[in-house]
Structure 1
């Protein structure tokens, strides 16, 4: 299974007045981590959209469990992986480590979408290409 890790330093603007990361900032980091993971696997988002005629890969569900807070100047490691694929959707897990400790567990469901063939003003789910599934599942 393909796993991507990246180190992120917490910035002043990530924090609330108590100097703790404001939780929506983590979801921005997770969104970036998914895009960066796909690029590291050889599938930059712009290429996927163009090659497969997609509009995007929106998030349709997300949640997180917060175990340890981070503050300005801390370094965290975000470990991202695709846990499973369905016909047009996939599940992503992000695990955030502060030093060696698990700080956050986050989960996303994303769907590949393109234009509806009968009405270009509407969106329609698109199947996940086999080459993407193979790359993420083999590692």
Structure 2
């Protein structure tokens, strides 16, 4: 399985008045981490749009478990991986570590979408290109 890790320093604007990360900020970090993972696997958003005729990879479901809070100035590591791929959807997990400790587990379901050939004003799920499947499932 392809795994991408990145280090992130918590910024002042990420925190609420109690100086802990306001939870929606993590979901923005996870969205960035998914995009960065695709880029690290050599499939930037522009590549996906231009080479496969897709519009994007929107999130259709998400949830998270929070174990340890982070505060301004902390460094965290976000580990992102594709857990499974179906015809057009895929499951992503994000694990956030503070040092060696697991701080957060997050789960996403995303879908590849393109323009509906019968009505280009609408979006339609699109099948996963085999080379993307191969890259994510073989690492």
Distance in 2 between the 1:54 and 1:41 partners?
17
Measured on the aligned residues, the alpha-carbon RMSD in Å equals 0.5
Matched ranges for 1:27-106 at <5 A: 27-106=27-106
Output one character per residue of 1:77-134: Cα deviation in whole Å (capped at 9) or x when no partner.
Answer: 0000000000001000000000100000001111011111111111110001010010
Residue aligning to 1:8: 8
| TM-score in terms of structure 2 length | 0.99
Output one character per residue of 1:43-100: Cα deviation in whole Å (capped at 9) or x when no partner.
Answer: 1111111111111110001110000000000000000000000000100000000010
Unpaired stretches in structure 1, ≥5 consecutive residues: none
Which structure 1 residue ranges, 4+ long, deviate > 2 Å from structure 2?
A: none
Distance in 2 between the 1:49 and 1:108 partners?
21
Unpaired stretches in structure 2, ≥5 consecutive residues: none
| TM-score in terms of structure 1 length | 0.99
Aligned length: 139
